[in-house]
Amino acid sequence: MNIALIAHDRKKEALIQFVSAYTPIFEDHILFATGTTGKKIIEATGLPVHRFQSGPLGGDQQIGAMIANNEIDLVIFFRDPLTAQPHEPDVSALLRLCDVYDIPLASNMGTAEVLIHGLERGDFNWRTLDE
Ligand SMILES: O=C(CO)COP(=O)(O)O
């Protein structure tokens, strides 16, 4: 599966802890991330991560384009609901595309826990059915 990992600044530590805790699961998949999130995940876990631009510089849109091209199977995006983002339209567009294409999306740790166990169990294998 192709997995997108994104976190706003005040959520990055939580995402790093999450990815570190589930490294044995994530290492069986192909990881993509916005710029700074990806850099921090690589530093903390050593996992290979394809990095895009930083979010405010277009990274959310690049991941959105992958979703539109059916190239992302799962999105884990720890958003900061308490801080205004200069690129809020890009954030909304990315979330919208997840809904347009029925891509599983976790926007917080609680949902991410459910999704990661579902991923491990094969719950998302339907994503590969028409390949
Ligand atoms: O802003 C982001 C998502 O909207 C994340 O971008 P960075 O990973 O570059 O901090």
- Among 9, 51, 57, name the best residue to mutate to test ligand 1's pocket (greatest count of ligand atoms within 8 A of Cβ): 9
What pLDDT does residue 130 have? Answer: 63
What pLDDT does residue 128 have? Answer: 84
Distance CA 5, CA 34 (A): 7
Active site residue 80: no
Nearest CA to ligand 1 atom 5: 55
- To which H or E segment does residue 50 belong? strand 49-51
Where are the chain's structural domains?
2-74+85-101+110-128
What pLDDT does residue 58 have? Answer: 98
pTM for this entry = 0.96
pLDDT along the chain (131 residues), means of 10: 98 98 97 98 98 98 98 98 96 98 97 97 86 54
Nearest CA to ligand 1 atom 4: 55
Q: Is-contact 79 8, C-beta < 8 A?
A: yes
> Which residues define the annotated binding site for substrate?
8, 12, 34-37, 54-55, 87
Ligand 1 pocket, CB under 6 A: 6, 8, 34-37, 54-56, 59-60, 91
Query: Is 3.40.50.1380 the CATH number for 2-74+85-101+110-128?
Result: yes
What pLDDT does residue 75 have? Answer: 98
Distance CA 11, CA 50 (A): 20
Centre of ligand 1 from the C-alpha of residue 131, in Å: 30
Helix 12-21 vs helix 35-45: angle between axes, to the nearest 10 degrees?
A: 40
What pLDDT does residue 129 have? Answer: 73
